[in-house]
Structure 1
Amino acid sequence: MTRVCLIGEAGTNLQYELLSRETAREALATYDLARPFENSIAVRTVSVGAAVSLLNDLNWYLTRFVDEVLVQEPSISDGEWLSRPLAEALRNGDIEPAATAEFCKIYGLERVAPESESADDAGDGAADSRPATESSPNAAADSVSGVDGGTTAASDGSKEPDRTDVTAPTYRLVEPLYVRRTDGEIPEYDLRDVEDTLVVRLTEAEYAP
């Protein structure tokens, strides 16, 4: 299953912005939602093509509320992610899977205090503010939470399935480091002390040393 993760822009509540709007809510309606990082939404799709199609459906919202789009395809890497342009190039056959590894950026993963996330979600009622779980960064990124079957009022006054029962995040992505893989090795992340890192593969055009 190909995973898609959307990281919201600073100062926005991504879950609220997407699920309070009918078109975005309908595009996400068939997916179980997860929140592996601070201010994020993640879903699992059946293929890279399906992931790219979903992103195209959400494009209006991505340009306004999303800072980073990540796609993970297990046939390429279980631990590294792809940028949206790289996923599109793969879907279109413009690049071979074996040629995706050279250009990357590495994000640091920084632990988020539970009260920080609760404060971020307070005031709009859109997100679950339960304390973050004490899990590893990779465990947080792998978590997927289903819909709990409740109902909540949509922006048009109708009742919609409760899409807000998602895993509380414990990490945020910080300060990307652009690197180039050499002889199969990636340089270490050295911009700050972090508990873990997340690697995103890029197209050559996105790479900025």
Structure 2
Amino acid sequence: MTRVCLIGEAGSDLQYELLSRETAREALATYDLERPFENSLALRTVSVGAAVSLLNDLNWYCTRFVDEAFVQEPSISDDEWLSRALATQLRNGEVDADETGEFCKIYGLERVAPAVDDEVDTPDTAAPSGDDESTTASEGGENEATAASSGAGGGPTYRLVEPLYVRRTDGDLPEYDLRDVAETLVVRLTETEYTP
């Protein structure tokens, strides 16, 4: 299933801003909500088209309270995300799936103390399913960052820090070197979003 992750702007409480407003709460009511990163909300949809449609429905809130909106499509990558603009281009047939990987930004993932309640649970939304299990980094396998972003409860909380804009060459991405972090998160971008 396609995943959507919203990262709140600094100084805002994204969960409160979205779930305290009736229109946004109704748009999110049918989804199991997760909080994979600090000040974030994530959910699963049936397709890239459904993900883009939901983001369009939430656009008023996204422009005011959301710093970044990511979409993850397993048929493209299990561990890399698409920016909202790239997901929209993909949905509209403006770009092929195999043409999405050239321009990227890499976020460092910094551990922070777990929040008192890392799960989102409101009267109008179901609690996260918790079906995914966290795993540690292993060569060729799911890394800790991917596991953290899968919505598994009880683990550490992560904060996205300092994105590094990179260009994939010969199938490889440069190493993240802006600060010392154990894990990273890759987001694929449109060419116009890429600003090295």
CA RMSD of aligned residues (A): 1.9
Instruction: Indicate the percent of aligned positions where both proteins have the same amino acid.
Output: 77
| 2:17 is the counterpart of 1:17 | yes
Aligned to 1:95: 95
Q: Measure the CA separation in 2 of the matches of 1:144 and 1:90.
A: 28
Q: Is the 8 A contact 1:38 1:169 kept in 2?
A: no
Shift of 1:144: 5.9
TM (norm. structure 2) is 0.84
SS of residue matched to 1:7: strand
**In 1, are the aligned partners of 2:145 and 2:185 still within 8 Å (CA)?**
no
- Higher gyration radius (CA): 1
Is 2:191 the counterpart of 1:204? yes
**Normalization by structure 1: what TM-score?**
0.79
**1:19 & 1:195 partners in 2: Cα distance?**
32
C-alpha displacement of 1:172: 0.5
Deviation at 1:195, TM superposition (A): 1.4
Confirm or deny that 1:173 pairs with 2:160: yes
Question: What is the CA distance between 1:139 and its match in structure 2?
Answer: 1.7
Amino acid at match of 1:79: D
Whether the aligned pair in 2 keeps the contact of 1:18 and 1:25 (CA below 8 Å) is yes
Residue 60 of structure 2: aligned partner: 60
Q: In the alignment, which residue of structure 2 is the partner of 1:141? A: 149
Residue of structure 2 aligned with 1:185, choices 169, 172, 187: 172
Q: What is the rounded CA distance, in whole Å, between the counterparts of 2:65 and 2:186 in structure 1? A: 22
CA distance in 1, matches of 2:185, 2:76: 15
Which residue of structure 1 aligns with residue 112 of structure 2? Answer: 112
Equivalent residue, structure 1, for 2:123: none
AA at the equivalent of 1:6 = L
Is the 1:35–1:168 Cα contact (8 Å) retained in structure 2?
no
Q: Which runs of 5+ in 1 are unaligned?
A: 119-133, 146-166
CA 1:168 to 1:11, structure 2 compared with 1: closer, same or farther past 3 Å? farther
The C-alpha deviation readout for 1:162-184, integer Å capped at 9, x for no partner, is xxxxx776101000000000000
User: Which residue matches 2:6?
Assistant: 6
Q: Match of 1:142, as an amino acid?
A: S
Kindly indicate whether residue 83 of structure 2 is the aligned counterpart of residue 83 of structure 1: yes
Q: 1:40 is matched by which residue type in structure 2?
A: S
Deviation at 1:138, TM superposition (A): 2.3
Matched residues in 2 for 1:113 and 1:75: separation? Answer: 33
- Judge conservation of contact 1:105–1:176 (CA < 8 Å) in 2: yes
Question: Residue 113 of structure 1: CA displacement?
Answer: 1.6
Q: Deviations over 1:17-73 (max 9, x none)?
A: 000000000000000000000000000000000000000000000000000101000
Answer yes or no: is the 8 Å Cα contact 2:18–2:24 preserved in 1. yes
Tell me if structure 2 keeps the 8 A contact 1:2–1:44.
yes
- Separation (CA, whole Å) in 2 of partners of 1:92 and 1:34: 27
| Counterpart Cα distance in 2 of 1:93 and 1:41 | 27
The offset of 1:137, in angstroms, is: 2.7
How many aligned residue pairs are there? 173
Q: 2:181 aligns with which of 194, 198, 203?
A: 194
